[in-house]
Structure 1
Amino acid sequence: MGALAAGAAASQVTVGLTAGLLVLCMGLWATGLIAEVVTALLFFALAMLMKLAPSPTIFSGFASQAFWLVTSGMVVGLAINRTGLGQRLARILADRLPNSYPGFVAGLIAFSFLLAFVMPSNLGRIALMVPVLLSICDAYGLTPGRPGRTGAILAFGIATPILSAALLPANVPNLVMAGTAETLYSLHLTYLPYLGLHAPVLAGVKGAILTVCTVLLFRDRIDSERPPMDPLPPISAAERRLAVTLALMLGLWMTDGIHHIPPAWVGLAAAVIVMLPKVGVLSGDAFSQIQLKTCFYIAAIFGLTAIVNESGLGREIGQALLAVAPFEAGASAKNFATLVSISIGFLFATTTNGAPALYTALAQDFSQATGLDLLSIVMIQVVGYSNVFLPYQAPPIVMTMDLGRISLADTTRLTAMFGIASLLVAVPVAFLWWRLVGGLP
């Protein structure tokens, strides 16, 4: 009895320490008081010093597919930037954008989604495209100080992390969700079924909502006449090789249900190819310019989630939520709304990058309470965490503010309006779409 009591006491101490570490790390990541990578290293240090779990558990994030997909995505993004392929795509876009302000905004939003197919890094797309878009705005007469310039840049910056939630390998929250589901439940998500379930609403409907919100908040007009832009130079050999590599990568991603090769390993192979001598477009030394801090951040989130699950803290959090959540077996609409609300609630404490880790760790409990299968429970959260209300909840939006020299007030106006409109329109439409395609009973 004494040994059992001592073991139970030790277990409670571990749970308490894990809870403290969870609050500390999520709080620092949400507020940004210190750099994300410093918080990640702090997690690894404290978890090992306090012996909260074996080292394979604490460092399990480095073995996750998400870690390697983020890393490879940064390599591919650097290649797109270095070869000039990104600027070429932007110029092709600029030549085809309508001469009306609503059409201009809608075109930028659509381009942000299409770019996510070939460049799986939100921050990389923002860093590459915002300077180019500022030049495009100048060409269209949207000079500094005009509301249309602010609206156009913000529309692209907000669409980049939000609409890309409809593409499995295209943003960090998706990778956190998929990696956690794989680690905890051996649940593997595939590219095309994921795209078919989420893209019509999270990309199509929300893209239209974002266009309307932007045009209403930042009213402006584009002159019918604009000076011609300089002609594009001939496409280089490096751009051709990279385009072929990207086409192969995208093709393998879209057919993963046939060959069963996870997107992470396809992305990693593409990253190796672009750095091979003569075949690739980057030298091996270019890897030193990759921002590995984001990769360490992803690894820390997975390690923290694994500890939360192994210590029993996840079970206790799940039981607390189940005690207050109005789940009801067979009540699809009520359960869907409750699960989306829980996912949104996590955003305010942990941002889009951390919310999927906490939610997915509780998916088994939610499944038992609602009667929904585990895959549906995991996928419903995407409707929630793609619904941001404040800029800090999505780091790419903050980066857009910095690069575009846009005020926090203007950014918050658009994110708040877009978040509320999406909650009122896109979430109910998502529920109806899920019922139509058989995602919900």
Structure 2
Amino acid sequence: MGSATVGGLAWPALVAAATVGLWAFALLPEFLTALLFFAAATILRLAPPEVVFSGFASSAFWLVLSGFVIGAAIRKVGLADRVAGLVAPRLAGSWPALVAGVIGLTYALAFVMPSNMGRIAVLMPVVMALADRAGLPAQGRGRVGLALAVGFGTFQLSASILPANVPNLVMAGAAESAFGLHLAYLPYLALHAPVLGLLKGAVLAACILVLFRPGPLVPADAGPGPGPMSREERRLAGLLLATLALWMTDAVHGVPPAWIGLAAACLCLMPRVGVLSGDEFAAGVNIRTCLYIAGILGFAAFVARTGLGDRVGAALVAVLPLDPARPGASFASLVGLATLLNFAVTANGIPALFTPLARLLAEGSGLPLATVLMVQVIGYATPLLPYQAAPIVVAMGLGRVPARDGARLCLAVAAVTFAVLAPLDYLWFRALGWL
């Protein structure tokens, strides 16, 4: 239980509930809620400082920070405008084509680039430049919708590709260590890509088209074609290509994507070698979002270390309507369990808590162990609020998206997912012999 000795689990539960409530209802700025969580957990000695502040030691935090630097460099040298100019003629004249094209880019890039945060850092400047080409106003609904398309497409759709999503990797590692079960790339893709990838991409596009429809697009005058690349553009393009190549081959060389991104960010900031000054670094890095990410990651570790997550999980398992004679009801109950856990431990923490319970859940439901493990993907890939998925928060920070708009899209996509896609997923599981 760590240092959570003040009143057993009462104080950890109170701090956790207050933190989730403040994030969920945006009663305070997200970064301030994170700071309040740090203060409460340390002053009350509910967990050791290395647990509370573990988010700052997480690779995800440093990938977020380096992503801001890389994104600022892409915008400064003009690479974002150059790439946007290449794709604008096909997409910028139509709002549906623009949304579908952006979501398609997020999914396609997930197959070759393993880091959610890295993909967002690369795509967001390009998509914002594309919004400029389409004539979308700086604070308009259309631009908000495109920024959310980057965040939601990057996180939610990549859950259907095994190495492209942090929760997937947590689940795979936990399943191997707990049960000796090895998840394979192609069977995983065949199980999840049709519904959680392709169909969910269509649902996401439809929700954005309806919720964030702008006025008539007035594409900006393209003017003359792009001239030759400047020396800074060529230097940054070479750095980005090298970074992408290292990200794509991390399984070969063993260097995590976060440290590759951090090295690339350092090169962007190096005098005479890089392209960003100290002032541009200060302007380009959103410290508020970085603190928020550290808070989310530290919160997940806090819930696990204090034992609060185990207590919540056991209590939920005890009341779930699991019935071997009703596999459909058991399937729905497992999806609901993962969804509820998302409120407490966020998407990255769900597999760490859900996976150890999988054998107990399999015995109670009568479903195969591997099937129980796979069902949780539906839950953690469908956040009900933005704070439950760190990549969505990062995209909202980069795109300057109001919290209310992110929550609206979360709830809309989740409603369609649970009403339509989850039953289709159940049928697809049956068709492939997983049920």
**RMSD, aligned α-carbons:** 4.7
- Describe the SS at the equivalent of 1:278: coil
Counterpart in the other structure of 2:49: 55
Q: Which amino acid aligns with 2:103?
A: I
Contact 1:344 1:384 in 2 (8 A): yes
Output the CA distance in 1 between the equivalents of 2:64 and 2:221.
38
Compared CA separation, residues 272 and 101, structure 1 to 2 (3 A): closer
Counterpart in the other structure of 1:325: 320
Q: Does residue 267 of structure 2 align to residue 235 of structure 1?
A: no
Contact 1:101 1:221 in 2 (8 A): no
- Describe the SS at the equivalent of 1:235: coil
- Describe the SS at the equivalent of 1:14: coil
Q: Does residue 37 of structure 2 align to residue 43 of structure 1?
A: yes
Output the CA distance in 2 between the equivalents of 1:220 and 1:268.
36
Output the CA distance in 2 between the equivalents of 1:213 and 1:133.
20
Contact 1:163 1:203 in 2 (8 A): no
Output the CA distance in 1 between the equivalents of 2:431 and 2:354.
26
Listed one character per residue, the Cα deviations across residues 105-163 of structure 1 (whole Å, up to 9, x for unaligned) are 4223324545775983688679746753443333xxx899xxxx95x546523322222
Contact 1:58 1:303 in 2 (8 A): yes
Structure 1 stretches lacking a partner, 5+ long: 1-6
Counterpart in the other structure of 2:346: 354
Shift of residue 46, structure 1, vs aligned partner: 1.5
Of stretches 276-285 and 39-48 in structure 1, the one that deviates more from structure 2 is: 276-285
Compared CA separation, residues 81 and 402, structure 1 to 2 (3 A): closer
Q: Which amino acid aligns with 1:164?
A: T
Compared CA separation, residues 279 and 411, structure 1 to 2 (3 A): closer
Shift of residue 58, structure 1, vs aligned partner: 2.1
Shift of residue 386, structure 1, vs aligned partner: 3.5
Counterpart in the other structure of 2:117: 120
Counterpart in the other structure of 2:75: 81
Compared CA separation, residues 99 and 60, structure 1 to 2 (3 A): closer
Q: Which amino acid aligns with 2:258?
A: A
Output the CA distance in 1 between the equivalents of 2:185 and 2:77.
29
Contact 1:252 1:266 in 2 (8 A): yes
Q: Does residue 62 of structure 2 align to residue 68 of structure 1?
A: yes
Shift of residue 415, structure 1, vs aligned partner: 5.8
Shift of residue 354, structure 1, vs aligned partner: 3.4
Counterpart in the other structure of 1:22: 16
Compared CA separation, residues 272 and 382, structure 1 to 2 (3 A): farther
Counterpart in the other structure of 1:3: none
Compared CA separation, residues 130 and 266, structure 1 to 2 (3 A): closer
- Describe the SS at the equivalent of 1:45: helix
Q: Does residue 249 of structure 2 align to residue 278 of structure 1?
A: no
Shift of residue 264, structure 1, vs aligned partner: 1.6
- Describe the SS at the equivalent of 1:90: helix
Listed one character per residue, the Cα deviations across residues 75-102 of structure 1 (whole Å, up to 9, x for unaligned) are 1111112122122222212122285654
The counterpart of 1:262, out of the listed 256, 264, 277, is 256
Compared CA separation, residues 222 and 382, structure 1 to 2 (3 A): same
Output the CA distance in 2 between the equivalents of 1:285 and 1:216.
39
Compared CA separation, residues 398 and 37, structure 1 to 2 (3 A): closer
The counterpart of 1:423, out of the listed 418, 422, 433, is 418
Q: Does residue 134 of structure 2 align to residue 137 of structure 1?
A: yes
Identity of aligned residues (%): 36
The counterpart of 2:298, out of the listed 294, 303, 306, is 303
Output the CA distance in 2 between the equivalents of 1:279 and 1:336.
54
Compared CA separation, residues 155 and 280, structure 1 to 2 (3 A): same
Output the CA distance in 2 between the equivalents of 1:36 and 1:218.
23
Output the CA distance in 2 between the equivalents of 1:430 and 1:296.
36
Of stretches 301-310 and 312-321 in structure 1, the one that deviates more from structure 2 is: 301-310
Compared CA separation, residues 330 and 242, structure 1 to 2 (3 A): farther
Contact 1:113 1:160 in 2 (8 A): no
* TM-score, scaled relative to structure 1: 0.73
* TM-score, scaled relative to structure 2: 0.74
Q: Which amino acid aligns with 1:280?
A: G
Q: Aligned ranges for residues 162-181 of structure 1 at < 5 Å?
A: 162-165=152-155, 166-167=157-158, 175=166
Structure 2 stretches lacking a partner, 5+ long: none
- Describe the SS at the equivalent of 1:42: helix
Output the CA distance in 2 between the equivalents of 1:330 and 1:298.
42
Contact 2:116 2:154 in 1 (8 A): no
Contact 2:331 2:375 in 1 (8 A): yes
Q: Which amino acid aligns with 1:252?
A: L
The counterpart of 1:344, out of the listed 333, 336, 339, is 339
- Describe the SS at the equivalent of 1:120: helix
Output the CA distance in 2 between the equivalents of 1:86 and 1:381.
36
Contact 1:256 1:262 in 2 (8 A): yes
Contact 2:175 2:355 in 1 (8 A): no
Shift of residue 23, structure 1, vs aligned partner: 0.6
**What is the number of residues matched between the two proteins?**
415
Output the CA distance in 2 between the equivalents of 1:75 and 1:334.
47
